[in-house]
Amino acid sequence: MCGIVGYVGKSQAAPILLDGLSKLEYRGYDSAGMAVYDGSKIEYEKAKGRLRLLSEKTHDGATMQGTIGIGHTRWATHGEPSETNAHPHLNEDETIAVVHNGIIENYAKLKDKLIKRGYNFKSETDTEVVAHLLDYYYKAGNDPLACVTKVMHRVEGAYALGIIFADYPDQIYSVRKDSPLIVGLGKDGNLIASDVPAVLKYTREVYFIENEEIARLSEGSIEFFDVDGQPIEKQSKTIDWDVDAAEKGGYDHFMIKEIHEEPKTVRDTLNPRIKNDTVDIEELGMTDEEIRAISRIRIVACGSAYHTGVTAKYVFEDMARIPVEVDIASEFRYRNPILQENELVIAISQSGETADTKEAVRMARAMGNMTLAIVNVVGSSIAREAEKVMYTWAGPEISVATTKAYSAQLIALYLLAMKFADVRGLLPADEMKSLIADLKKLPEQIEMLLGNKERIQKFANRFVAAKDVFFIGRGIDYAISMEGSLKLKEISYIHSEAYAAGELKHGTISLIEEGTLVAAVATQDNIYPKTVSNIVECKTRGAFILAVTTVGHEDIEDVADYVMYIPQTNKYFANSLAIIPLQLFGYYVSVGKGFDVDHPRNLAKSVTVE
């Protein structure tokens, strides 16, 4: 879970590398480094901590001369965050430099062998074996391309590598297996990166590198090879993301900017799929027979994406009467799961690179089941791994805590449920029309909720010192609570838990004491009185109650200490509105505590390790 970049061209490389790394800091931010060929040797700099420290050390890259280089921002896996463990890693002669995203699983065995051959290791990383292995093959008389292919045959695990050789000062070699990598075709030079935002400032023409493909870049050319070093042809794709999407655009943090982008995200994910008062998802290429044949849906995902899956379970089961199992991807893949015939496996992922979700898709395919990915990043691994893809059009999401991609995932799932219900004869045309009308209102309703953010900020400021917070709800409200709780804990470091409201009294209620904040979500009419009873149980034990409910339920003020109202919508879509005040609450608590909202400790956005 790191970010890599590389540049070769006419301009000074280091400032471009730093700029690219700044767009990849969401992938890891405990240390960073760059290597540049300065005309006579490979020069490198590393810094422990945020990228800004590397920028300061190199005067924004000005002190590193040269027009070819590679860079790295790290989320430590092997070896603590330190300058020694930061990338790039070099061979002993410092003639080969490597940056790496991923994990070399057999590094210990390779390291032993290399030590026996006289190699000395400086770091505790798995990556250093790659630098020494390249050195070994290079000194045995192989050219750089042959060295790279030989290394690929020796290493096991996941990797995206950027490599420069001092003897070939006009070339970058890059290769991937199970870690993302793109190549950008620039005007005055070419680039490699772990993700598209890192190159958007320089080009929109990118190549998505497939597993075990090698790219060789120089100022005026990009060549591709397979794992045996044979040339291959690749087509570039034009990315239509806005350059501004990767900038803060006047907001204090990416998170608040991205929350404000939710109305647009909802519109962009929804509108192209509504035609003639019905849902059109022909892009999936699923026949009505296939939809009718679905015996069960299995959703696999992690974190917030898993929470959208929990919401979807309630929606699919109620609306389309299809049984749904929701699995945390890392549990699914190690459980010897049973998939039945005609069970559709839906993987949900913003990044499209989450290792466990990707592996779950592979397993489901291997079992012969149809797989459908709901993914935000075009051309990402999960998008390519799954048989069918439905993109969420949220644009690049930079803040580690997801907000707009979560909202877009919900829309994609509602649309699928509506389509499936329609094809299975469970959604009369007038109901479909009314659901579509409600969906179309969501962007405006979200805008309205955003208009109330100062009130939420004031409330959040009262709870910056909270020690424990509980989020409770039933049905879809429980799914919302799970996400509200995760948002708060991941960026404010306040312990919080989400509970099915009816389950609290089976143990956890013993934790409620005078002043404990309980956020109760109560948007679902059919279970509203039940949730209110659970609120009263907490209040009786001294809890301070924040209620999130729908306009029309003003009676909740009799039991709640503070209420956040959401506009009325169809019961299925309440999550899309109720999550907004909860995202804002998490955000403002984190701001109130003075934390680095976009880069919470210990986390990284794209979890490409198991």
- Which residue ranges make up the site for ligand F6R (CB under 6 A)? 302-305, 349-351, 354, 357, 401-402, 486, 490, 607
Q: Which is nearer to ligand F6R, 386 or 607 (CB)?
A: 607
321, amino acid identity: R
Q: Which is nearer to ligand F6R, 357 or 569 (CB)?
A: 357
DSSP 557: G
Q: Which is nearer to ligand F6R, 31 or 350 (CB)?
A: 350
Pair type for strands 89-90 and 96-104: antiparallel
CB 282, min distance to ligand F6R, A = 25
CB 376, min distance to ligand F6R, A = 8
CB 89, min distance to ligand F6R, A = 27
CB 177, min distance to ligand F6R, A = 19
CB 373, min distance to ligand F6R, A = 10
- Specify the long-range contacts of residues 536-543, CB closer than 8 Å, at least 24 apart: 537/504, 537/505, 537/509, 538/470, 538/472, 538/504, 538/509, 538/512, 541/509, 541/512, 541/513, 542/512, 542/513, 542/514, 542/515, 542/516, 543/470, 543/512, 543/515, 543/516, 543/517, 543/518
Q: Which is nearer to ligand F6R, 166 or 604 (CB)?
A: 604
Could you tell me which residues are beta bridge partners of residue 580?
none
Residue 147 catalytic? no
CB 304, min distance to ligand F6R, A = 3
SS3 state of residue 91: coil
Q: What angle do CA 318, 322, 325 make, to 5 degrees?
A: 100
Among 169, 81, 159, CA closest to 123: 81
Q: How many CA atoms lie within 13 A of 413 on its CB side?
A: 32
Catalytic residue, candidates 111, 177, 404, 605: 605
Residue 605 catalytic? yes
Q: Which is nearer to ligand F6R, 265 or 357 (CB)?
A: 357
Q: Is the dihedral of CA 139, 143, 145, 146 positive or negative?
A: negative
Could you tell me which residues are beta bridge partners of residue 544?
517
- What DSSP assignment string belongs to 375-399? ESSTT-HHHHHSSEEEE-------S
Q: Which is nearer to ligand F6R, 73 or 304 (CB)?
A: 304
User: To which H or E segment does residue 522 belong?
Assistant: strand 517-522
Catalytic residue, candidates 2, 147, 302, 538: 2
Q: Which is nearer to ligand F6R, 42 or 302 (CB)?
A: 302
Q: Which is nearer to ligand F6R, 354 or 516 (CB)?
A: 354
Using an 8 Å Cβ cutoff, are 537 and 504 in contact?
yes
CB 349, min distance to ligand F6R, A = 3
Among 137, 165, 124, CA closest to 31: 124
Cα(37)–Cα(61) distance, integer angstroms: 13
Cα(549)–Cα(567) distance, integer angstroms: 9
CB 309, min distance to ligand F6R, A = 11
Cα(496)–Cα(463) distance, integer angstroms: 12
Return the biggest CA–CA distance within the chain: 81
Q: Which is nearer to ligand F6R, 214 or 607 (CB)?
A: 607
Q: Where does residue 355 fall: left (phi above 0), alpha (psi -120 to 50 degrees), or beta otherwise?
A: alpha
Q: Which is nearer to ligand F6R, 411 or 509 (CB)?
A: 411
CB 280, min distance to ligand F6R, A = 25
CB 521, min distance to ligand F6R, A = 18
**DSSP strands (E only) in 235-356:** 237-238, 274-275, 278-279, 296-301, 324-328, 343-349
Pair type for strands 157-165 and 3-9: unpaired
Q: How many CA atoms lie within 13 A of 154 on its CB side?
A: 21
Q: Which is nearer to ligand F6R, 70 or 401 (CB)?
A: 401
CB 286, min distance to ligand F6R, A = 22
Identify the residue whose tokens are 């929804």: 270
Using an 8 Å Cβ cutoff, are 215 and 173 in contact?
yes
Structure tokens at 66: 């040269």
Q: Which residues contact 95 (CB under 8 A, 6 or more apart)?
A: 42, 135, 165, 166, 167
- Residue closest to ligand F6R, measured at CB: 303
Q: How many CA atoms lie within 13 A of 118 on its CB side?
A: 3
User: Which residues are part of the catalytic machinery?
Assistant: 2, 605
